[in-house]
Structure 1
């Protein structure tokens, strides 16, 4: 296994290098002498971005199609040309342009008369665009910014990639991001925040939607998601500390209403009883097309690949957009989820037990039955997540605009949560942690002022904001120890761990209650400016101030509230971009900050400070051959300081540290017509220093595997053969992961390679897809100080009708 893991690591890094070389060679053979750059923007008569519009120099092969923002950019030799703007269903436009060697020609905004439905009917050909790339984002810096202008590292998973892989959840979408690894699937319990991932050595969750609060406690369906943005590194300056981690954040960019009737109905089916029916329906509600409505909804059922278990849920996401006039628009959205599920088996280590007592140091040494749940399958819970959003966009002037955001999140759960403690490799304790009508409410209100203006010849892109965030929790966890059983006995009846027996035990008072009742408010202000110092040199400076008000925790037994405190924190951020080759190669560096509020007193009686993380990072971003080859290579170094650790048996001191450094690489390429590549590699080195003796110098259990890699290859056959037919193959690699790493011993989850494949066919308004996830039937484990078995081979298929 060691030799195999090592070869995978070497081949992962070598594979990325090979793609760069092959892509560069292939493009180098195609590229002519380029003397200047042409930039511009195409909009509809309704002032909406016109995507997939062909923009070409008449009589030449130079040209592109516009991106999701209606923008275009390409190179051509110096000279006088006719710029031809064309699309199915519109009259071609010809515009005179002059291309000057070594300069950028900006074409005035081009307006085309075309409906949104006509735009959607165009299928992007592989030889025209790198369909898995989105070079532009509005959320990463809270201002519109291209990737090559952005000093922060982030990945963007596009809807084209999600559709091609037949992906329906955020968990599966995340597998396309370098350095991200799932540790826990969502439990569905109130306040849990859905699945836990690891990034750059720290736990992270998908808590943001369109850049604001969007917490969902269950597995998040992608029915209303246009793309997924994963930001890397501490990001508290613009997004605060409550919804981010030192490893970054995950932001879901949602689908938006448009001005024609259209949509898609899809049915998915797969192994283990998987059934999913979804619909995306859009329509204008008035003849002037100022009031637009879109509804995304899905029903999911997934049986268990193990002995028993299930997950059932319904998602309803309506969106209403009112375009009051050219300056003002108002949008209201909702995310409504209700479901019922059993929690997939999670195995913990018995507190204080050593690996010698366990009799195992590796998951393969345990006698656990991979397919057993060790209960009768009726220990389920009810879950709800109700989120509401409002946004008001107002154009103050040509250079300034206002955006007001309102977001509320409500999560609820009631029911059983079985889990297990490993006593030895042959025995376990069966326990339950139920929630009793538990709920958590969150509220986020933001006001952002954006400006794009010049001071002299220096362009400034500015955002200033005020942010109010409130958490109100009324959760009650009921814990009961049921029994200790042999792990793998052919004669033992495991079905006694069930709803009736647990309910009877709780009726006699055989349980502990852990209330989690508290409230807190955070008041924040932030400002950021991206400054074009020269045509190639860009700098960013940002600062945030937080005032945190913990209003205390309530004990329902004593009816006393305690633990009230306030805390202030500053969070700076700096970035630098130098475009070594204008619009093609950017060198970047950043300093980013994050923090965590801490309650209590140290051994001297002094109030604790916020724990703080600081990142230094540098690297290169490229976008070559008209965007057909994009890549980000980065090295980062994160230091967390002021970690609280024991000073003696009863008191604490705040001087612990954690170090995390590593390398990440992402390549997205379209080397030749119809062939696309998404590849990633990451290495992370994390350790505790100056901390509790039992973990000092060790790798944190939140850090996941030191080496990870992802790959997806797809090929769409030329239309001369079978138009609309394509295939894809790829997967993920993770090296061995120490989920127990203390003085009591080290317990390791083995490395794994999980491979997936898909085939798809598009004809007229129909799309058919077939795939196999984990087609080698790899038995593998993930964990977060735990062991969590993962799904073996699964066959999936879908049929979609677009209208």
Structure 2
């Protein structure tokens, strides 16, 4: 039985007091690893993936056994030899992460809350509508409401996804690869790394990728051109700069999205309540390849590291992203007891998004008495702007699932273009600024105990949504929030077995709402987490295990007034509780094993009458699991074979759940994948198969479901020189 929060909180408090006042205070040797060195430690093999994650999640140079937070890391051990070309594929190996709403770019669910890959090197610098992974060194899923160090913009209460990009290395090499597969998949990529001067102070690295593929269904395509140059320069022994850019040009049809009919009907028999009961043609997309979504994105990232002294470091980070998109966005509604598809299209003339962020951190290592301190003090400015100019074609037509209609073949971009000519355009701009200050101190009273104390103040100024046509601005507001984070770790066996616990808080800003001429202003919505668990890291990669129990409580959710449905109250509450277990091991030389499982229990405790007491939609499935095993065998000194097998289990996922509409869920499914590869000197060949047994399944979120991809086989060849 899961621990109850009322027992967990006193246990954490007692443990903190007990370990401080009963342990012998011993002086610890000072850790002189400053953040200016972190770029280089990424390529040192003795630094584990989770240690790299700890540097990012804490913004301080601490190891995983000193970090009271849980991070699921997807690095080299889980990705090599597997022909992974997307972040979605990589995240299938992260414990507790399941696919959610498909859209144009994928969403995921973590600990009962939906999010996507929003952060790049710790900043709000994601490449819009991108799932590309060619320049990604590692993906980190930082669990829990991490508002203290990451703010409220793009942060979900269940956790966040942070991309660690590859950095220039002090060597010269080139990687070139070609890949092809069914569904007309073709991909070519090149990576070039070289020093630019004789002193090896200036380093350059470049990734370039072109991908083209079609859907397993009758319609659907995706074409990507991606370029990512990066540059680093050691100006002086104490001053280093790093600059990166990403460019994406993408033409794609959006993933087929279907909203099922409400299972509960006012009269007559109920509709279908689960995805397997639908009679949709699995290989039919109900769209057309002329309905394209076109995106151009440009992303800049920079970092300046300066060693003020042997104990103090200045780190300045900045990011600027801009994307512009246009095209047709289609959604589908199942009608007539799920017997027909009503197709709706929005025609965007332009959708523009921009992010600009500047972050200044000061990091220090010092002692107070015999207690070591690692202190972070930071300031953050973030500006985000969203502009959309579109016309709605409404529901263009309704197509019977069972029969064939000649009129259905007329559904294309020309038809939509003619319809929207007479429609009123919607053209709006919505900018906002966020100003933040935060502090975090990691204290070591002795070699075994680490205490983290953190807090953040955030001020949001939302300038509202301005209608470009009428010049009227609505829903402008200002909100302030304070979010703390407290954590501890205690090494029961030094650097091997660690107990950890944390309390952390995150926030999401809520815009005003109006009803019957009354404007309602709200406070931020808060999510608070209590978590406790154990981390085991046996040397030489013999065992790496994390077991944790979490309890997330959400408050200040907006609901309708139970006494007057035209009014709003900010009284809603819900919880998300669960257990996660992640295990990695290399029990034998060249044998790697990974397994993870997650359980989640979520409920709306205070809400509208239709949903109070029920499990919320968009929550993660109750049960999920991931596993992978790989083995490598050498033939001789210049050649070797490798083989791997893995998979995922995703439980039932609620898409509709209310007393009025009934419940609809996607059925549980299991996917398996395999890979085999051969390496001879600098040449590497790989063959992989995703969804090995051609399983039919649906996944989704936000009220939509999407058919999952069928078997995808890929043969690739790579050359390193």
> Structure 2 length normalisation: TM-score?
0.91
Relative to structure 2, which stretch is displaced further, 285-294 or 681-690?
285-294
The alpha carbon displacement at 1:462 in A equals 1.2
Question: For residues 98 and 407 of structure 2, what CA distance do their matches in structure 1 show?
Answer: 35
Contact 1:674 1:718 in 2 (8 A): no
Contact 1:133 1:158 in 2 (8 A): no
Question: For residues 359 and 796 of structure 1, what CA distance do their matches in structure 2 show?
Answer: 39
Task: Give the direction of change, closer, same or farther, for the CA distance of 1:629–1:430 in structure 2 (3 Å limit).
Answer: same
Question: For residues 42 and 678 of structure 1, what CA distance do their matches in structure 2 show?
Answer: 33
Question: For residues 344 and 172 of structure 1, what CA distance do their matches in structure 2 show?
Answer: 16
Name 1:734's counterpart in structure 2: 650
SS in 2 for 1:168: coil
Name 1:626's counterpart in structure 2: 540
1:570 to 476, 482, 486: 482
Alignment of 1:429 onto 2:342: yes
Name 1:544's counterpart in structure 2: 456
Name 2:438's counterpart in structure 1: 526
User: Could you report, residue by residue, the CA deviation over 1:430-486 in whole angstroms, capped at 9, with x for unpaired residues?
Assistant: 110222122011111100111122222211111110000111121123222201221
Task: Give the direction of change, closer, same or farther, for the CA distance of 1:686–1:328 in structure 2 (3 Å limit).
Answer: same
2:204 to 269, 293, 312: 293
Contact 1:179 1:708 in 2 (8 A): yes
Task: Give the direction of change, closer, same or farther, for the CA distance of 1:410–1:605 in structure 2 (3 Å limit).
Answer: closer
Contact 1:374 1:495 in 2 (8 A): no
Name 2:102's counterpart in structure 1: 185
Alignment of 1:471 onto 2:384: yes
Question: For residues 48 and 155 of structure 1, what CA distance do their matches in structure 2 show?
Answer: 19
1:459 to 362, 372, 377: 372
Name 1:57's counterpart in structure 2: none
Contact 1:42 1:70 in 2 (8 A): no
Task: Give the direction of change, closer, same or farther, for the CA distance of 1:525–1:621 in structure 2 (3 Å limit).
Answer: same
Alignment of 1:745 onto 2:657: no
Question: For residues 133 and 764 of structure 1, what CA distance do their matches in structure 2 show?
Answer: 30
Task: Give the direction of change, closer, same or farther, for the CA distance of 1:426–1:601 in structure 2 (3 Å limit).
Answer: closer
The alpha carbon displacement at 1:42 in A equals 13
Name 2:18's counterpart in structure 1: none
1:69-218 alignment, distance < 5 Å: 69=44, 137-187=54-104, 194-218=105-129
User: Could you report, residue by residue, the CA deviation over 1:752-788 in whole angstroms, capped at 9, with x for unpaired residues?
Assistant: 0000000111221111110111011000110102110
Name 2:135's counterpart in structure 1: 224
Name 1:389's counterpart in structure 2: 301
Task: Give the direction of change, closer, same or farther, for the CA distance of 1:433–1:41 in structure 2 (3 Å limit).
Answer: same
1:280-319 alignment, distance < 5 Å: 280-319=191-230
The alpha carbon displacement at 1:649 in A equals 2.6
Question: For residues 40 and 469 of structure 2, what CA distance do their matches in structure 1 show?
Answer: 61
2:149 to 238, 247, 253: 238
Question: For residues 595 and 41 of structure 1, what CA distance do their matches in structure 2 show?
Answer: 33
Name 1:500's counterpart in structure 2: 414
Name 1:583's counterpart in structure 2: 495
Question: For residues 31 and 719 of structure 2, what CA distance do their matches in structure 1 show?
Answer: 31
Contact 2:177 2:718 in 1 (8 A): yes
> Structure 1 length normalisation: TM-score?
0.82
Alignment of 1:799 onto 2:717: yes
Name 2:512's counterpart in structure 1: 600
1:313-392 alignment, distance < 5 Å: 313-349=224-260, 354=265, 359-392=271-304
Contact 1:462 1:529 in 2 (8 A): yes
Count of residue pairs the alignment pairs up: 683
SS in 2 for 1:665: strand
SS in 2 for 1:417: strand
1:440 to 353, 356, 364: 353
Contact 1:49 1:70 in 2 (8 A): no
Question: For residues 336 and 47 of structure 1, what CA distance do their matches in structure 2 show?
Answer: 28
The alpha carbon displacement at 1:500 in A equals 1.2
Question: For residues 693 and 393 of structure 1, what CA distance do their matches in structure 2 show?
Answer: 54
1:29-44 alignment, distance < 5 Å: none
The alpha carbon displacement at 1:164 in A equals 2.5
Name 1:684's counterpart in structure 2: 600
User: Could you report, residue by residue, the CA deviation over 1:698-754 in whole angstroms, capped at 9, with x for unpaired residues?
Assistant: 211111311000000111125569942110001000111111111211112110000
Name 1:666's counterpart in structure 2: 582
The alpha carbon displacement at 1:800 in A equals 0.8
SS in 1 for 2:420: helix
Relative to structure 2, which stretch is displaced further, 722-731 or 567-576?
722-731
Q: RMSD across aligned C-alpha pairs, in angstroms?
A: 2.4
Task: Give the direction of change, closer, same or farther, for the CA distance of 1:171–1:488 in structure 2 (3 Å limit).
Answer: same
Alignment of 1:775 onto 2:692: yes
Alignment of 1:611 onto 2:522: no
1:713-724 alignment, distance < 5 Å: 713-719=629-635, 723-724=639-640
User: Could you report, residue by residue, the CA deviation over 1:100-130 in whole angstroms, capped at 9, with x for unpaired residues?
Assistant: xxxxxxxxxxxxxxxxxxxxxxxxxxxxxxx
Contact 2:97 2:109 in 1 (8 A): yes
Runs of 5+ consecutive residues of structure 1 not aligned to the other structure? 1-38, 52-66, 73-130, 188-193
The alpha carbon displacement at 1:248 in A equals 0.7
The alpha carbon displacement at 1:601 in A equals 6.5
User: Could you report, residue by residue, the CA deviation over 1:281-301 in whole angstroms, capped at 9, with x for unpaired residues?
Assistant: 011122222221111111011
The alpha carbon displacement at 1:512 in A equals 5.4
Contact 2:177 2:189 in 1 (8 A): yes
Question: For residues 677 and 40 of structure 1, what CA distance do their matches in structure 2 show?
Answer: 35
Name 1:117's counterpart in structure 2: none
Question: For residues 238 and 719 of structure 1, what CA distance do their matches in structure 2 show?
Answer: 48
Name 1:485's counterpart in structure 2: 399
The alpha carbon displacement at 1:627 in A equals 3.1
Contact 2:325 2:352 in 1 (8 A): yes
The alpha carbon displacement at 1:556 in A equals 2.4
Runs of 5+ consecutive residues of structure 2 not aligned to the other structure? 1-28
Question: For residues 555 and 500 of structure 1, what CA distance do their matches in structure 2 show?
Answer: 28
User: Does 1 or 2 have the higher relative contact order (CA < 8 Å, sep 6+)?
Assistant: 2
Task: Give the direction of change, closer, same or farther, for the CA distance of 1:794–1:352 in structure 2 (3 Å limit).
Answer: closer
Task: Give the direction of change, closer, same or farther, for the CA distance of 1:654–1:345 in structure 2 (3 Å limit).
Answer: same
User: Could you report, residue by residue, the CA deviation over 1:623-672 in whole angstroms, capped at 9, with x for unpaired residues?
Assistant: 11433200100000000001000112321000000110000000010011
Task: Give the direction of change, closer, same or farther, for the CA distance of 1:598–1:351 in structure 2 (3 Å limit).
Answer: farther
Task: Give the direction of change, closer, same or farther, for the CA distance of 1:740–1:398 in structure 2 (3 Å limit).
Answer: same
